[in-house]
Structure 1
C-alpha cells in the first residue's frame, strides 16, 4: 500500500493540474466574450466580421456584398439582458440598417462617406449599450 501511495498522489496532482488549466482556458474565453451565447452577442460578433469585409471592399473600391437581410436579425435577436431592447435600441438598430442599405446601394464615389456613417452608427449605439466593443469597432474606421 505504501509503495502505491506516491503513484496515487502523483495521479491526483496531475488530475488537479489538468482541471485547473481547463478552468483557466474557460475563464479567459468568458472574459473575451462575457455575453457568451446570447443570440444578440453572437450576431454582433458576426456583424463585426461582416464589417471587416465591407471595410476591405470599400478600401479597394470593390462592390459590397449585401448583408442587410442577415443584419436585420438585430431587431429580433435575444440579448443577454432583456432590458437592452428599448425604443432607443430599436431606433438605433433601424438607423444602422438604413445606413447599411444606403452603403450597399451607393456608388463608388459615396462609398467611403457612407461607410464612415455606418461605423459612426455602431459607435453611437455602443456608447449607450454595451461599451465594451468600442475599442474593437474603432478598428473598422477608414481615414
Structure 2
C-alpha cells in the first residue's frame, strides 16, 4: 500500500508540473503579443511579414508585387488605443503608403533606395506611436 501512495504522489506531482509549464508558456505568448486582439496590431504583424517578402525581392533585384491595397487598411483598422488615430498618424500612414507605392513602381535600379525610404517611414511612425516593434523593424534593414 505504501508503494501505491508513492506512485500516486509521483503521478500527481508530474501532472501538477505539466500544468504549471503550460501556464508559463501561455504567459510568454501573452507578453510577446500584448495587443493580440486589436485589428491594427494584427494587421501590423501581417505588414511585417509582407515587408520581409519585399526585402527578399529587393535583395534579389526582383519586381515587387503589390501590397498597397492590403496595407491601406492601416488607416482604418481599429487600434488598441483609439487615441492613436490622430491627424499625425494619418499623415504618417499616408507617407508610408506613398513610399510603398513608389517602391512598387520602382525601376530595379531604385529598388534598394526606395525600400530604405519605406523602412524609414515605418521607424518614424513607430518612434512616435508604438516603440515596441522598433527592434523588429530594424531587422528589415538591408545588409549593405
Same fold (TM over 0.5): yes
Of 114-123 and 75-84, more deviation after overlay is shown by 75-84
1:32 aligns with 2:32: yes
- SS of residue in 2 equivalent to 1:131: coil
Distance across 2 between alignment mates of 1:128 and 1:18? 42
1:18 aligns with 2:18: yes
Superimposed CA distance per residue, residues 86-142 of structure 1 (whole angstroms, 9 cap, x where no aligned partner): 111111111100110111011111111111100000000000111111111111112
TM, length-normalised to structure 1: 0.91
Of 32-41 and 65-74, more deviation after overlay is shown by 32-41
In structure 1, the residue matched to 2:103 is: 103
Distance across 2 between alignment mates of 1:16 and 1:83? 43
In structure 1, the residue matched to 2:129 is: 129
Number of matched residues?
Answer: 143
In structure 2, the residue matched to 1:71 is: 71
CA-based RMSD of the aligned residues comes to 1.7
- SS of residue in 2 equivalent to 1:97: helix
Distance across 1 between alignment mates of 2:139 and 2:25? 26
Of 47-56 and 30-39, more deviation after overlay is shown by 30-39
1:59 aligns with 2:76: no
C-alpha change, 1:2 and 1:125, in structure 2 (3 Å) is same
Distance across 1 between alignment mates of 2:87 and 2:6? 64
Of 42-51 and 2-11, more deviation after overlay is shown by 2-11
Distance across 2 between alignment mates of 1:9 and 1:141? 54
TM, length-normalised to structure 2: 0.90
List runs of 5+ in structure 1 lacking aligned partners: none
